[in-house]
């Protein structure tokens, strides 16, 4: 699935176990996509406000079949599989912070496998919809999940108990400043816990042109924290390149251990020649130098080293740089 991946050499994984976990994670994500399609189709009873937010938030996840459905499933799997497999490997009841949780789709998935999840977003309308979706999803599963949502400034999340995973999907481009968020992640992660970032690649020219179309020249904006009423500076579609993010991670003391570069094709899902385009995209992802320029999205996992590794580690990852 990954064209270029760094794997943690200290992981001891039986190939059969790893394959079984990979299949289980992929199947679970695909089932989740099916449930999301049911929500978008109106088969799951949601309020008008929540249904409207869902359609606006996921304009590309249009229920369908054939190539379009395959592209949607492929995109969702590529964004989520690494984090889901990592949680499965972590053991029972891992704690997860879904940073910039939006409508809570990923929080619900992590909760389904037994994780204790805190989903945080600055936008109250998203959190309200996420809470409603949680109620419906629990009814669908027939059990309660250890998932809760909060509309608040991410930086105000309590440090009382560390998280095993901080998951950040297409949110780091809105968090300001990035350096503070990565320092925050280091401070909130348990030793050997991971920050997983999935976002648009800033080296991709098509992404940059798209962001300029959306935001113009305005890179920062001011929002209000619904919990405190104070003003919060947020970035406006400020996307990072893979080298920029990895440098920032190392500076914060986080060690990159996993990397995927992907070309997402959801905007081309209705092209008659989509199978050929998909084949070309998968080939380009396997060319190391070129993939850095043409991949539209990446997934990077970075680990907080143990205290011993942080002091005696062989590289700059694991040593906080001033």
Instruction: Please give the Cα distance from 38 to 31 (Å, whole number).
Output: 11
The whole-number average pLDDT for the span 285-290 is: 88
Tokens matching residue 70: 């395959």
Nearest alpha carbon to residue 3 among 236, 322, 321, 258: 258
Domain extent listing, the chain: 15-312
What sign does the CA torsion over 130, 133, 135, 138 have? negative
Overall pTM > 0.85? yes
Lowest mean pLDDT among 132-146, 164-178, 257-271: 257-271
- Output 307 or 78, whichever has higher pLDDT: 78
Residue 84 has pLDDT above 90, yes or no: yes
Helix (H, G, I), strand (E, B) or coil at 101: coil
Q: How do residues 198-219 score in pLDDT, each as one tens digit?
A: 999 999 888 888 877 776 767 8
Res 42: pLDDT: 93
Residue 313 has pLDDT above 70, yes or no: no
Percentage of residues of the chain with pLDDT beyond 90? 64
Residue 4 has pLDDT above 50, yes or no: no
Instruction: Please give the Cα distance from 108 to 120 (Å, whole number).
Output: 13
Q: How do residues 216-243 score in pLDDT, each as one tens digit?
A: 767 888 999 999 999 999 998 889 999 9
Residue 147 has pLDDT above 70, yes or no: yes
The whole-number average pLDDT for the span 251-277 is: 86
Nearest alpha carbon to residue 89 among 193, 232, 213: 193
| CATH code, residues 15-312 | 3.40.50.150
Q: Look at the block and give the residue holding tokens 């989520």.
A: 80
Instruction: Please give the Cα distance from 270 to 250 (Å, whole number).
Output: 40
Res 277: pLDDT: 84
The whole-number average pLDDT for the span 78-97 is: 94
The whole-number average pLDDT for the span 7-28 is: 68
Res 285: pLDDT: 87
> CB of 260 within 8 A of CB of 286?
no
> Residue 84: phi, psi to the nearest 5?
-65, -45
């Amino acid at each position: 699935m990954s064209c270029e991946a760094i794997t943690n050499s200290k992981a001891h994984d039986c190939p059969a176990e790893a394959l079984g976990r990979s299949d289980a994670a992929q199947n679970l994500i695909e089932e989740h996509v099916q449930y999301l399609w049911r929500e978008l189709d109106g088969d799951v009873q949601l309020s008008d406000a929540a249904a409207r937010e869902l359609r606006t938030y996921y304009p590309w996840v249009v229920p369908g079949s054939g190539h379009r459905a395959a592209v949607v499933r492929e995109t969702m799997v590529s964004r989520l599989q690494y984090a889901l497999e990592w949680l499965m490997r972590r053991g029972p009841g891992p704690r997860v912070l879904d940073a910039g949780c939006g409508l809570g789709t990923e929080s619900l998935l992590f909760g389904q496998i037994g994780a204790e999840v805190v989903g945080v977003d600055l936008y109250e309308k998203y959190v309200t919809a996420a809470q409603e979706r949680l109620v419906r999803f629990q009814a669908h599963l027939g059990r309660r999940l250890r998932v809760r949502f909060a509309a608040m400034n991410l930086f105000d999340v309590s440090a009382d108990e560390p998280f095993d995973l901080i998951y950040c999907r297409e949110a780091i481009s809105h968090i300001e400043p990035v350096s503070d968020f990565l320092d925050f992640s280091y401070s909130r992660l348990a030793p050997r816990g991971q920050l997983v970032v999935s976002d648009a690649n800033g080296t991709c020219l098509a992404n940059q042109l798209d962001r300029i179309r959306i935001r113009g020249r305005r890179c920062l904006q001011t929002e209000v924290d619904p919990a405190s009423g104070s003003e919060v500076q947020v970035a406006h579609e400020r996307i990072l390149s893979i080298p920029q993010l990895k440098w920032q991670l190392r500076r914060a003391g986080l060690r990159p251990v996993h990397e995927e570069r992907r070309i997402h094709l959801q905007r081309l899902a209705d092209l008659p020649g989509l199978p050929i385009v998909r084949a070309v995209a998968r080939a380009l992802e396997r060319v190391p130098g070129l993939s850095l320029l043409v991949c539209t999205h990446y997934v990077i996992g970075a680990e907080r080293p143990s205290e011993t590794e942080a002091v005696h580690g062989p590289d700059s990852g694991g040593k906080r740089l001033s």
